Amino acid sequence: MSCCVSGTVGGNLEEAFRINLLLRDSGRKITSIIEQAASAATIAALGAGEIAIVEDGEFGLHDPAIRPSIFSEYRVLTIADLQLLVDQLCESRERILDTYTARTGVDRKKIAMLMKMTTVLGPEDALKYGFVDRILPALPKSESIDDVCTCPDCPRHGKADVAH
């Protein structure tokens, strides 16, 4: 059994979709264990065959956003530039919704509303909506993920060809 631990709060959406596909297409039984996942990290975590969340964990959903630093590459922004950015955000939103609804089976409009409201789900709600399969006990505060992850076929504990 492989172990993919998600403890990040976001990042690059394209990279998250790549991780999602790599996990799904790996041919291995992979479990994502979520302490805190939000934004792009949720997309990466949903690539695993099984998804667990610790009892004090969080799963955060929001509409896609563009970091303000993206505007520094433009000297001036035209209407066409802004429309391109809006179109890209809308396309990203649809891809995220496709991923969330495929995983959960929840109505697309309901998921879209959760994203629009920037929702942080606790473990019970993440389970209720179908984002996770089970809830695990909270990790002791004195331990790190490295201390408790003992899967035999991951880079830290065995085979080096498995994502951790």
164 assigned to some structural domain: no
CB-based contact 108:97 (threshold 8 Å):
yes
- How many Å apart are CA 61 and CA 118, to the nearest integer? 6
83 assigned to some structural domain: yes
Report pLDDT digits (tens) over 112-163.
999 999 999 999 999 999 999 999 999 887 655 555 555 555 544 444 444 4
pTM exceeds cut of 0.75? yes
**Total domains present in the chain:** 1
Report pLDDT digits (tens) over 55-86.
999 999 999 988 776 667 767 888 998 899 89
3-state secondary structure of 116: helix
99 assigned to some structural domain: yes
Give pLDDT, residue 81: 83
| CA atoms 125, 128, 130, 135: torsion sign | positive
163 assigned to some structural domain: no
What the block records as the tokens of 67 is: 């970091």
79 assigned to some structural domain: yes
Residue with tokens 């792009």: 40
25: domain CATH number is 3.90.226.10
162 assigned to some structural domain: no
Q: Which domain holds residue 120?
A: 2-148
19 assigned to some structural domain: yes
81 assigned to some structural domain: yes
